[in-house]
Amino acid sequence: MERRAPRPSSPKWPGGDARRSIALGLPSPLAPAYNPSFLDLSSTEGRVKRIKAIYPGSFDPPTNGHLDLIERGSKIFDELVVAILRNPEKDPLFSVADRRKMLEAMTSGLDNVSVDTFAGLTVDYALRVEARAILRGIRAISDYEYELQMALMNRKLQPGLETVFMMPAEKYSYISSRLVREVAQLGGSIECLVPDLVERKLREKMDVALKFENGEQPAGKTRSEGKSKSRKKKA
């Protein structure tokens, strides 16, 4: 008869006592992958350890929905980095520098929020800046599938990093950067959808595009700034 190999016991098997510890409510000896340190309440200071999170996205342009999420995130995380993805394959309406300026102005009143840019894998960036969580927003069920897929992929790539989903206030739950761009490009009102400074920047862009289409060469503007109408198909 075949003999079963004896089940390895701790300490040979790291984390072998985990289930017993969890059942007894003791601090778990599990590896960080299963015991994210930001959920470890056993800090010697008697409080949750400092948690740094990143909020990655395109923010083209940043909206009131993004801002709502940033404000919520800044309340539960000790530090929040709004991280603009530099994606050379996308044809954005706003340059990364413009988006950064807008986000910096929007978050200037939030002490624990900073703005940065990154390229490549989100998990690599998170690791580089020593963040322990990725903040993402879920507006409706339609966001869920994609966000879940991405969160699980990121977990596969970096098991110690947690994705935290937050919901915006209902009044912002229908706002997306893509819709804001489309409405602005078609001359609709984007009041209440984006902060005032973003609205102004969008209007400037649209004016430049309009002048360009009317054959005028707007003073001090480059040709590439006048091509925003053609983006519509890609939105």
Contacting ligand ADP within 174-213 (CB under 6 A): 175-177
For position 61 contacting ligand ADP by CB under 6 A, the verdict is no
Which member of 57, 73, 92, 226 binds ligand ADP (CB under 6 A)?
Answer: 57
CB of 222 to ligand ADP, least distance (A): 25
For β-strands 79-85 and 52-57, DSSP reports them as parallel
Of 59 and 212, which has the nearer Cβ to ligand ADP? Answer: 59
CA dist., res. 130 & res. 110, Å (int): 20
Binding track, positions 138-177, relative to ligand ADP; x by CB under 6 A: -x---x------------------------x---x--xxx
Question: Amino acid identity of 19?
Answer: R
Site size for ligand ADP, by CB under 6 A? 16
Stretch that binds ligand ADP, among 61-69, 93-101, 156-164, 202-210 (CB under 6 A): 61-69
Of 127 and 164, which has the nearer Cβ to ligand ADP? Answer: 164
The catalytic residue positions are 66, 90, 139, 177
Contacting ligand ADP within 80-139 (CB under 6 A): 136-137, 139
CB of 201 to ligand ADP, least distance (A): 16
CB of 58 to ligand ADP, least distance (A): 4
For β-strands 162-166 and 79-85, DSSP reports them as unpaired
Which member of 28, 63, 154, 228 binds ligand ADP (CB under 6 A)?
Answer: 63
For position 67 contacting ligand ADP by CB under 6 A, the verdict is no
**Footprint on this chain of ligand ADP (rule: CB under 6 A):** 57-59, 63, 65-66, 69, 136-137, 139, 143, 168, 172, 175-177
